[in-house]
Structure 1
Amino acid sequence: DVIHTHHPFLLGEVGAHFARSLGLPLVYTFHTQLEKYSHYVPLPQDLVRKAARDYVAAYARKCDCIICPSPSIRGLLDEYGVTCRVEVLQNAIDLKAYREADGTTVRRELNLGPDRVLCIYTGRMGIEKNLHFLLESFQKVHLQHPEAALLLVGDGPLLEELRQKARDLGLADHVLLPGRVPYSRIPSYYAAADLFVMTSTTEVKPLAVLEGMATGLPVVAVDACGTGDTVTPGHDGLLCECDPEAYTAILQTAVSDAALRRRLGQAARQTAENYSLETYTHKLVDLYRELGAVHTGRF
């Protein structure tokens, strides 16, 4: 009754073809700022970024509705010249898995005592995630707070480079990069931590932020798309511009103040309740029904 695609390439084009041939509404969720990943294409970057924008804009013209996973990305679609219906339907997660997570075993496996303040990032180890920036800020914080530790969970092309960077910064014993871990264990890794960190400026609505908040972790992040419309500074996390000194300052504040972390973390857990899969599913099904009724007269 509805064809829903999640990227414009390959299967996205297949979905668009069948939507057109079957006379069905086409829905596309705009998950990724593709132009921010242009560095993976070894061609002139201005050309690649323009091509990415033009391709998304052309794909959007085939759609009956585009779903924005975050309010702040809506303006980017306007810049692309998108004229079809756009609905903001924010990403959601299975809250239960994170509410009930226990990090005791993970801390023991990582040999982290109760006195260590553990900062966690989960996600792709890629240049677009701005992780060199995070390591450099963490080094400055660690000089003042040797009890701090940083855990970067995930795989990607920068993994070995980041491990070397940690060694070069004298942080080999304090920055942990275990690589990919089973997805079923991710909630336990969050639960082992004291705060969630993110310095990426290329997100749309990062699930990792929601997962960390659902586990009761305060978010310490660069204010960008996806964090700025999820985190309320001083309430459930701390945000700043993408500036090394500014980020070091808020990270140091969070690491040094256990009472602040507890207060922000409790509020973060409450914020995460707004992003349940149940709420998301009901809204999505209602949208499908509406589009189906308008497009075909069914439902």
Structure 2
Amino acid sequence: MFRRSSLLSLAFFAVLLTLLGLLGYKIYLSFFKDTFEALHAHQIERIEARLQGREAFSFAVVGNVRNSIGVFERRMIPALNRSGVDFLISAGNVVSGGGEDNYQALYGSMRRLQIPYVLTFAEEEESEFGSFRFYDMFGPYFYSFSAGEARFIFLDVTGKTPLAWQLRWFEDELEAVRARGERAFVFLGEPVLPAQRQGEARASGLARHPDFLGDFLALVAEHPVAAVFSPSQRVLDRRRVGETWFVTTGGGGGQLLSGKDSFYHFVRVEVDAQGVDVAPVKMEQAPGRLLRMLEGLWFLIYSLFYVGYLNFLLVVCVVALVAIRLYKAVFMEKNYYRDFSHPAAEDAPQPLRVMMFTNNYLPFIGGVPISIQRLAHGLQRQGARVLVVAPEYGTQTDEEEHVLRVPSLLNWGRNGDFRLANVLSTRIAVATRAFRPNVIHVHHPFWLGSLGLFIGRRLRIPVVFTYHTRLEQYAHYVPLPGLLFRNFIAHYLVEHFANKCDGVVVPTYSAEEYLHVIGVRSQILVRPTGVDCEAMQQADPETLKRLRREHGGGGETLLVSVSRLGREKNIDFMLEGLAWVRRHSEAPFRLLMVGDGPERPRLERRIAELGLQDCVELVGSVEPAAIPAYYQICDAFVFASKSETQGMVILEAMAAGLPVVAVRASGIDDVVQDGVNGYKTPEDVAEWGTRVIRLLEDEQGRKDLAARARAFARDYDVLRVSEDVAGFYRRLMALNARRVRSG
């Protein structure tokens, strides 16, 4: 039985996925959906064919349809199909907005019409970037055509086309009409008579161009214009000025206004040799003013939902997401205090079977793979069974039976070091059933780590997460805005994932403090990655002699740094610090930079720019087993990374008897005791360089720091750390068993 919070979380993510799907579909409609184009060209050809050789004909005019379904599509189109008119003209505002969905809905409605049609470009057609869609789907904003000894002229008064240019074109059109002995019908998106413009809230565009209105009316009066049609706010107004009908029509759909002139209708225009007759054709509607208003409101709501159902669903999804979040924030019982009821480890006596999940592992050289390997070996030496689930690299050996390699879907990085494992591989399911883990330990809060969390929850066994890496320092590797990832996504990901786990292992107390600050409430064990102190102090004497000849034959003080050559390791700062040391000290030194990475070509250029070619050597990638020898031939360890959660290489260097100079950061602060086993400084070139000079020039002080560093590292021996982690597993297993028994 799911808890209420679990059901709400499922609902939240279901609605979120729906919302993302709807947004994706909206984008698809706008950019990728095959659409109709230049419909006016085809419709005008149909009109010309219908009226060829005829002097008498009829057509209908509608205004302010606004994507009406209940009135226009369900009632008016069938009436138009039965009416016998030859074609239909929209006086404007046939859509309720220029969005892609509105134009698609209009096309669907017009396909029910059995007669040809053309549209006037007006305010609603232009809104929401609709002008681009109108031009692509129908044609130009202002245009004209002749049929049945009449000229049909359409003007654009939205502001997309200059009115001065249209006025000259309009005059030329009317002169041609007079020369051919035709009559003209004119359509534009706003009323032009002052009496018809009164009360029209939307008729504001032409109000800014009184000269155009005056010139337009003068041209109409001087030429054979039979009628001028404009959309109105659902009101019919027809009046004759001289020989010209001026008609505003707004009964094509939507909610009606109160008053006798507001009703659903289209205007029927009869044309013959005797003249032009203009008459409204009313649609049936409910009796009584109240019922008509309710009917109009219903048609409006119906049309909005039918046409803009995507927008409607988007709004519903957003409201649902907010409602679920508010409910969880206000009404769900919360306990912001950590659970200190740690059961005794004896409550979980069964042998440990630990299944670990990691996104990278040996032969990839890095702090996380080495940390996992050491913990796995330490647990095995205590009798635990361990299975590490890791990506397949192609170059790994099959010597370690406790590693399950998962095929990679994608490789990237300078040498293909980063592998995206196939989380759907059947190997994982088969291995899980065979191994029967009683603890899941994940080392990343995503991908294989997420799979491990899923498996642990399905098996109802404890899930432990080790917070190895400060994700926000890796924003430059993520295809997202850097500030967004660094300031929000990275912290949210860690907090959200850690709270889903039963326990979290962190290497330092500063890392524990960080987790508490971002809201992690799971059980936390503070234990760094163990160091094999004995291995760090042993090396083949011949190997040491060879390395000294290769890297330090000049008698200079040897510095070493072990780090991946990535931007997050702050190596540029360290190089600038060494350049500062060269300028302020005569003491000879040489830095061995052990490690490789994508920044190597750029760092080589930077070393040359700083003139450090003779004292900085990029050694490259070194097998983990060979690293202790590099520590032992050197005199001090230097470091500048701020992305570490524990600085495992610093503990290794201390175990090998090297004092440390590092930049103060969360993973360094708990390990380096300033003036005791090394120095930690702010990220300041002069301060960092001053401490390096102190080590170079004070040999006795360097030896004293080295002795204290070696003693400090003994507390972090891998056996002690693995014992503490195993005890943590057992406490979580006992706590989980109690929780399962209690339901």
Q: TM-score, normalising length from structure 1?
A: 0.95
Deviates more, 1:171-180 or 1:77-86: 77-86
- In 2, Cα distance between the equivalents of 1:63 and 1:178? 40
- In 2, Cα distance between the equivalents of 1:41 and 1:16? 23
Deviation at 1:158, TM superposition (A): 1.0
- Give the match's secondary structure for 2:637: strand
Deviation at 1:287, TM superposition (A): 1.1
Deviation at 1:164, TM superposition (A): 1.4
Matched, 1:291 2:732: yes
Among 485, 488, 492, the alignment partner of 1:54 is 492
| Paired positions, count | 297
Deviates more, 1:131-140 or 1:34-43: 34-43
Among 583, 592, 612, the alignment partner of 1:151 is 592
- In 2, Cα distance between the equivalents of 1:154 and 1:6? 22
Deviation at 1:142, TM superposition (A): 2.3
- In 1, Cα distance between the equivalents of 2:483 and 2:646? 25
Matched, 1:13 2:13: no
Aligned equivalent of 2:150: none
Q: For 1:243-291, what per-residue CA distance to the aligned partner results, in whole angstroms no more than 9, with x for missing partners?
A: 1111111111111111111110111111110110110111111111111
Taking the TM superposition and a 5 Å limit, the aligned residue runs for 1:156-167 are 156-167=597-608
Matched, 1:77 2:518: no
Deviation at 1:107, TM superposition (A): 1.4
Matched, 1:30 2:467: yes
Give the percent of matched residue pairs that are identical in Structure 1 and Structure 2: 37
Q: Assess if the C-alpha contact under 8 Å between 2:580 and 2:686 holds in 1.
A: no
Among 60, 84, 100, the alignment partner of 2:538 is 100
Among 557, 565, 579, the alignment partner of 1:125 is 565
Deviation at 1:43, TM superposition (A): 2.8
- Give the match's secondary structure for 1:185: helix
- In 2, Cα distance between the equivalents of 1:20 and 1:252? 53
- Give the match's secondary structure for 1:231: coil
Among 681, 702, 707, the alignment partner of 1:266 is 707
- In 2, Cα distance between the equivalents of 1:44 and 1:21? 35
Deviates more, 1:256-265 or 1:46-55: 46-55
- In 2, Cα distance between the equivalents of 1:123 and 1:170? 21
Q: Assess if the C-alpha contact under 8 Å between 1:4 and 1:28 holds in 2.
A: yes
- Give the match's secondary structure for 1:190: helix
Deviation at 1:9, TM superposition (A): 1.0
- In 1, Cα distance between the equivalents of 2:514 and 2:703? 35
Aligned equivalent of 1:233: 674
Gaps of 5+ in 2: 1-437
AA in 2 matched with 1:207: M
How large is the RMSD of aligned CA atoms in angstroms? 1.5
Q: Assess if the C-alpha contact under 8 Å between 1:145 and 1:256 holds in 2.
A: no
Deviates more, 1:45-54 or 1:13-22: 45-54
Deviates more, 1:138-147 or 1:76-85: 138-147
Aligned equivalent of 2:482: 45
Matched, 1:138 2:578: yes
Among 218, 225, 230, the alignment partner of 2:659 is 218
Deviation at 1:125, TM superposition (A): 0.7
Deviation at 1:104, TM superposition (A): 2.7
Q: For 1:179-206, what per-residue CA distance to the aligned partner results, in whole angstroms no more than 9, with x for missing partners?
A: 1112211000111111000111111001
- In 1, Cα distance between the equivalents of 2:499 and 2:665? 27
Deviation at 1:146, TM superposition (A): 5.0
- In 1, Cα distance between the equivalents of 2:491 and 2:680? 28
Matched, 1:255 2:696: yes
Gaps of 5+ in 1: none
Deviates more, 1:272-281 or 1:135-144: 135-144
AA in 1 matched with 2:568: E
AA in 1 matched with 2:652: E
Taking the TM superposition and a 5 Å limit, the aligned residue runs for 1:181-196 are 181-196=622-637
AA in 2 matched with 1:220: V
- In 2, Cα distance between the equivalents of 1:242 and 1:185? 30
- In 2, Cα distance between the equivalents of 1:142 and 1:24? 56
Deviation at 1:98, TM superposition (A): 0.7
Q: Assess if the C-alpha contact under 8 Å between 2:587 and 2:696 holds in 1.
A: no
Q: For 1:131-166, what per-residue CA distance to the aligned partner results, in whole angstroms no more than 9, with x for missing partners?
A: 111111111212323511111110111112111111
AA in 1 matched with 2:728: L
AA in 2 matched with 1:95: C
AA in 2 matched with 1:62: K
- Give the match's secondary structure for 1:155: coil
Q: Assess if the C-alpha contact under 8 Å between 2:587 and 2:697 holds in 1.
A: no
AA in 1 matched with 2:520: V
Deviation at 1:226, TM superposition (A): 2.1
Task: Name the larger-Rg structure.
Answer: 2
- Give the match's secondary structure for 2:504: strand
Among 232, 239, 246, the alignment partner of 2:687 is 246
Q: Assess if the C-alpha contact under 8 Å between 2:580 and 2:685 holds in 1.
A: no
Which 4+ runs in 1 deviate beyond 3 A? none
Aligned equivalent of 2:223: none
Q: For 1:69-127, what per-residue CA distance to the aligned partner results, in whole angstroms no more than 9, with x for missing partners?
A: 111111211222111212212221111111123533211122x1262101110011111
Q: Assess if the C-alpha contact under 8 Å between 2:453 and 2:463 holds in 1.
A: yes
Among 55, 62, 66, the alignment partner of 2:504 is 66
Taking the TM superposition and a 5 Å limit, the aligned residue runs for 1:197-208 are 197-208=638-649
Q: Assess if the C-alpha contact under 8 Å between 1:70 and 1:204 holds in 2.
A: yes
Aligned equivalent of 1:4: 441
Q: For 1:29-56, what per-residue CA distance to the aligned partner results, in whole angstroms no more than 9, with x for missing partners?
A: 1111101111112432121121122122
